Amino acid sequence: MDRKKFIKATGMGLGVTLIAPQLLSGKSQKNLSVENKNDPKIIKDDEGETINVIGDIQTHKILGSETGNQIMEWVDNVEPGAGIPPHIHTKEDEIFRVIKGEVEIMVDGKTSILKAGDVAFAPKNVPHAWKVVGTEKAKMITSAFPAGIEVMFHELAQLPPGSPDLAKVGEICGRYGISFV
């Protein structure tokens, strides 16, 4: 079926005929547009708020408050040996993109070494963990969606320096739907 016949057969031709003149004249533009309440943002590599979340040095780049709580994104700059033990999120999915170094990541029982350019996806309700391996510091961009996890990160960053109180860490994470396995 050619395009004109398809439009006529589906009734789309009538909709286009009725709406197109209004769009072109601008009379109904306000009623048909979707308002974007989020402001565009450009974040340079050296910009953002940097916090220490129990050894995970994070620079927060995009916050939920800036994206209608759709996504939160941060950069991890982490020394060899540092990482996050196996855990499960019940609220957010995560994407990990390695920019520099090597990160051993486990998702749903499968372990792999990620290098620069590699990506891993950890959906909610699936156990995952990561650890920097090798001899150099790793840089990884991590995204969580929906947003909200940044509130937990700030709370964890307020814990006293030194070896963390694992019971306190577990209690804080539990309030945000994250449990260690």
Look at residue 10 and tell me if it is in a domain: yes
Q: How confident is the model at residue 161 (pLDDT cuts 50, 70, 90)?
A: confident
CA atoms within 13 A on the CB side of 84: 25
- Looking at the structure, tell me whether residues 85 and 17 fall in a common domain: no
Look at residue 39 and tell me if it is in a domain: no
- Looking at the structure, tell me whether residues 76 and 148 fall in a common domain: yes
Look at residue 40 and tell me if it is in a domain: no
Q: Which residue has the higher pLDDT, 137 or 35?
A: 137
- Looking at the structure, tell me whether residues 71 and 19 fall in a common domain: no
State pTM to two decimals.
Answer: 0.78
Look at residue 69 and tell me if it is in a domain: yes
- Looking at the structure, tell me whether residues 25 and 112 fall in a common domain: no
- Looking at the structure, tell me whether residues 20 and 80 fall in a common domain: no
Look at residue 126 and tell me if it is in a domain: yes
Per-residue pLDDT of 110-132, as tens digits, reads 999 999 999 999 999 999 999 99
128/176 Cα distance (integer angstroms): 16
Residue 43 identity: I
Number of domains forming the structure of the chain:
2
- Looking at the structure, tell me whether residues 26 and 109 fall in a common domain: no
For the record, the structure tokens of 172 come out as 């804080």
Look at residue 41 and tell me if it is in a domain: no
* Lowest mean per-residue pLDDT among 27-31, 144-148, 167-171: 27-31
DSSP letter for 164, please.
-
**Regarding beta strands 72-78 and 56-62, do their DSSP bridges make them parallel or antiparallel, or are they unpaired?**
antiparallel
* Residue 103, domain CATH: 2.60.120.10
Residue 47 identity: E
155/151 Cα distance (integer angstroms): 6
Look at residue 94 and tell me if it is in a domain: yes
Going by C-alpha positions, the residue among 88, 40, 92, 97 that lies closest to residue 69 is 92
109/56 Cα distance (integer angstroms): 22
- Looking at the structure, tell me whether residues 15 and 83 fall in a common domain: no
Q: Which domain does 28 fall in, by range?
A: 3-32
- Looking at the structure, tell me whether residues 18 and 101 fall in a common domain: no
Strand arrangement, sheet containing 56-62: 49-53, 56-62, 72-78, 138-145, 93-100, 119-122
Look at residue 38 and tell me if it is in a domain: no
- Looking at the structure, tell me whether residues 27 and 60 fall in a common domain: no
- Looking at the structure, tell me whether residues 70 and 151 fall in a common domain: yes
Beta bridge partners of 165: none
- Looking at the structure, tell me whether residues 69 and 138 fall in a common domain: yes
- Distance of alpha carbon 152 from the chain centroid: 14
Q: What is the average pLDDT value for the chain, to the nearest integer?
A: 86
Q: How confident is the model at residue 20 (pLDDT cuts 50, 70, 90)?
A: very low
pLDDT at 39: 84
- Looking at the structure, tell me whether residues 142 and 174 fall in a common domain: yes
